[in-house]
Amino acid sequence: MKLDWRLLIPYELLEPNWRLWSFVGILTLGFWALLAFPMAEFAGYIDPFYSPTILIVPLPGAFRLTCYAYRKDYHRHIFNHPLGCANADRGESASRHYTGERSAVFQLENFHRYFMYAGIAILPFFYYDFYHSLISSGTFELRLGSLLLLANAITLTGWTVSCHAFRHVIGGNVDCYSCVAAGGPRKDFYDRQSWLNKHHEALAWISLLTIILVDLYLRGLAAGLPIDKTLLRF
């Protein structure tokens, strides 16, 4: 059975009150951000919210905020505009003027293709965080938290390289793609990325949840919960 995760969210409740819910959402995210900032490193684990990327956090933040997967959701379910063209009842959205991608918001969102480079540039930091957690005690130690950091790095990589803008970098900018790249390494890379790209929306949410999970795990550890386990040491 295919799980439709959207049914888990009460959109019927959210949509009529979208201003209220947007306000609650912004407050919650702001509160989370305030919580996230002081948490830097605990027991050799660097918090993904804090990782050196904190220095350039607006760029990865903008990369995530302008991701097509989230854009679809906040335009359809929070802004209520534009709704999907196939939606028979377009309600409020039908009476609002839609100017394609020329409005200021869309133009801003189109900077996503540039924010992507920041997203790619920060990926090594997350692998470094994993490595750092292995050796921080002065000896090699694989702990449960290290595996979570690795999972975080992998899901972030999956989300980033499955990006639609990345797809364009690999496969775009040629008039006849199959003529130029048929059978070549670029075509192979493109085909592999195409497979990942089909799962981009799921990866967007999984990678976000993984970051939050790691952050909560570290907060739990810092609070004294006995949740960390050493799996290997030598």
User: Between 149 and 204, whose beta carbon lies closer to ligand FES?
Assistant: 204
Q: 11, 21, 68, 131: which one contacts ligand FES (CB under 6 A)?
A: 68
Segment lying near ligand FES (by CB under 6 A), choices 12-20, 23-31, 51-59, 159-167: 159-167
The rounded distance, in Å, linking the Cα atoms of 94 and 168 is 31
**Nearest distance, CB of residue 82 and ligand FES, angstroms:** 17
Contact indicator for 125, 52 with CB cutoff of 8 Å: yes
**Phi, psi (degrees; rounded to nearest 5) at 160:** -70, -45
Q: How many CB atoms lie within 10 A of CB 68?
A: 15
The answer for residues whose C-beta is within 8 angstroms of residue 30's C-beta and 6 or more apart is none
209: Cβ contacts below 8 Å, ≥ 6 apart = none
Of 53, 50, 39, which Cα lies nearest the Cα of 218? 39
Segment interacting with ligand FES (CB under 6 A) among 31-39, 66-74, 128-136, 149-157: 66-74
Residues 69-128 contacting ligand FES, CB under 6 A? 69, 112, 116
CB-nearer residue toward ligand FES: 68 or 98? 68
Tell which positions 23-62 bind ligand FES, by CB under 6 A.
none
Alpha-carbon gap, residue 174 to 145, rounded angstroms: 44
Q: Is 163 in the site for ligand FES (CB under 6 A)?
A: yes
CA angle 212, 216, 218 (to 5 degrees): 120
Residues in contact with ligand FES, shown as a per-residue x/- string from 194 to 223 under the rule CB under 6 A: ------x---x-------------------
Nearest to 230 by CA among 127, 132, 152, 134: 134
Of the candidates 81, 164, 186, 219, which one interacts with ligand FES according to CB under 6 A? Answer: 164
When asked if residue 67 is in the footprint of ligand FES (CB under 6 A), the reply is yes
- Count of residues touching ligand FES (by CB under 6 A): 10
User: Where on the chain is the footprint of ligand FES (CB under 6 A)?
Assistant: 67-69, 112, 116, 163-165, 200, 204
